Amino acid sequence: MSGRWDRGRVAGLAPDAAAAKAAEGVARPARWGGTGCDDEAVWGECQGSGASVYRACADLAGPAFRCSCPSRKIPCKHVLGLLLLWSDGTVASGARPGWAAEWVEQRRERAGRAQERTAAKARDPKTVERRERRVEDGLAELDQWLRDQVAHGLAQAEKAPYGLWDDAARRLVDAQAGALSGQVRALAAIPRQPGWPDRLLEEYALLRLLVRAYERRDALPAGLRDTVRSRVGFTVPQDEVVRDGERVRDRWCVTGSRDTAQDQLTTRRVWLRGRETGRPALVLSFAAPGAPLDASLVVGTEVDAELAFYPGAQPLRALVAERHGPAVPAAPAGTSVAGFLDEHAAALANDPWLDRWPATLEDVRLARTQGNGLHVVDEAGDSLPLRMADPWRLLAVSGGGPVTFAGEWTPEGLRPLAAWQADEGGVLL
């Protein structure tokens, strides 16, 4: 255990605001007995209403949580309260009681067996061959569907039902090309936007390019081949990334985080930027509805760590392979608008399917165009359009002065994530 989590990280585990508030009332040493912790777990017994005593435990490696209370929230207020006490340093180290040791060991055994089954299945040549064949058939069908959409003209798309794209997406799921399924389903929203014909045709073209690239995958450079397989839906196991991925140690600034929900799965995207290398990185975590997401990387902090990058022509996604110290508050170093555009152009040359790219800009101010659109403008007068519904928080922290700004660059514009002002410090947007 590299160190006890701070209260902000614990609060980030709460499934909702009510659980976080209730946890504060539970985080009182007088209500707890039998508490303890070691390098992997925290445990304790909380006095409930009446004669009830609830046993709570947290496996820090997951993290994963268990409590004997009847709450359906994960983690419940008792686990959160226990972690708050541990964060405050009021839980001492000790030996695990039998009930906590049994639960932690059972979790590790189940996880180990699941990894073994997954690895064995992935290594089975027949399984690999069957999936390759299904994906090839699914992409051939997608290729024909794309040609049909263009041949019939784009005018029909404006009034087409969502089923036009949903049916194509479901067929890709059946073909085990899940990553492409989400891209196709997202096309349904484009005809509802201004200037949609150009955007829809561009997306069709990028999908066709990906299909053609997959057909020629054996002739592609190794990095580009990895990118194409990833965009189609082939995943690389985390243990393989940690073992074989490119390792980069730096002081990594956490510049932004955003959660999105799709198909009964919540995804957290955390953006980092290397202090010395200036290199961007993306750490993803996933959770089912109601389950906590990884909250170990806090926006506005910097951590000395070694990242392991997933393979690809433009390595961006990474895992935290090893930490070399606790996170400390820090503002990131950024670049100018021109510098950012050069970075983005180089990334697109390597991976033309990039739909998001992190921007960290120094000394930018807010400005409005004649059309009342909001932009960030640097000292050279170069600007980028902002995509945000409520600008008041950003306007308040900047006060018309320069800020360091972090966001996600997308085809629709720059989506704000955080800003740092000399006097106010960092603010999430």
pLDDT in tens, 127-176: 778 889 999 999 999 999 999 999 988 888 888 888 889 999 999 999 99
Q: Is the pTM of this model over 0.85?
A: no
The CA-based dihedral angle spanning residues 12, 14, 20, 23, taken in that order and rounded to the nearest 10 degrees: -110
Q: What is the pLDDT of residues 201-212, one digit of tens each?
A: 999 999 999 999
Q: What percent of the chain has pLDDT over 70?
A: 95
* DSSP sequence for 58-125: EETTTTEEEESSS--SSS-HHHHHHHHHHHTT-S-B-PPPHHHHHHHHHHHHHHHHHHHHHHHHHH-H
Nearest of 205, 192, 204, 202 to residue 158 by alpha carbon: 192
Confidence category of residue 124, pLDDT binned at 50, 70, 90 = low
Taking residues 95-119, what's their average pLDDT?
81
Q: What is the pLDDT of residues 167-222, one digit of tens each?
A: 999 999 999 998 898 889 889 889 888 889 999 999 999 999 999 999 999 999 99
Mean pLDDT, the chain, whole residue set:
89
Partners of residue 271 on adjacent β-strands: 256, 282
Task: Tell the burial category of 11 from Cβ atoms under 10 Å away from its Cβ (0-12, 13-18, 19+).
Answer: buried
pLDDT of 123 = 60
pLDDT of 221 = 94
From residue 249, alpha-carbon distances to 64, 276, 303, 317 in Å are 28, 9, 10, 15
| HSE (side-chain half, CA atoms, 13 Å) at 217 | 17
Question: How many helices and strands, by DSSP H and E, does the chain display?
Answer: 12, 16
Taking the CA atoms of 78, 82, 85 and 87 in sequence, report the sign of the dihedral they define: negative
Q: How far is CA 308 from the centre of its chain?
A: 15
pLDDT of 306 = 96
Contact 143, 258 (CB under 8 A): no
pLDDT of 5 = 82
Three-state DSSP at 361 gives strand
Q: What is the pLDDT of residues 264-305, one digit of tens each?
A: 788 899 999 999 999 999 999 888 766 677 888 889 999 999
pLDDT of 118 = 63
Pairing mode of beta strands 41-47, 32-37: antiparallel
**Distance of alpha carbon 336 from alpha carbon 308, whole angstroms:** 27
Contact 43, 94 (CB under 8 A): no
Whether 1 has a pLDDT exceeding 60, the answer reads no
Peptide bond into 63 cis (omega under 30): yes
Taking residues 21-36, what's their average pLDDT?
92
**Distance of alpha carbon 380 from alpha carbon 401, whole angstroms:** 15
Q: What is the pLDDT of residues 312-354, one digit of tens each?
A: 999 999 999 999 988 899 999 999 999 999 999 999 999 999 9
Domain regions of the chain by residue span: 7-117, 125-232, 246-329, 337-428
> Whats the size of the chain, residue-wise?
429
**Distance of alpha carbon 318 from alpha carbon 308, whole angstroms:** 5
Residues 6+ apart with CB under 8 A from 106: none
**Distance of alpha carbon 216 from alpha carbon 207, whole angstroms:** 14
For residue 49, give the DSSP letter. Answer: S
Task: Map tokens 């955080």 to a residue.
Answer: 418
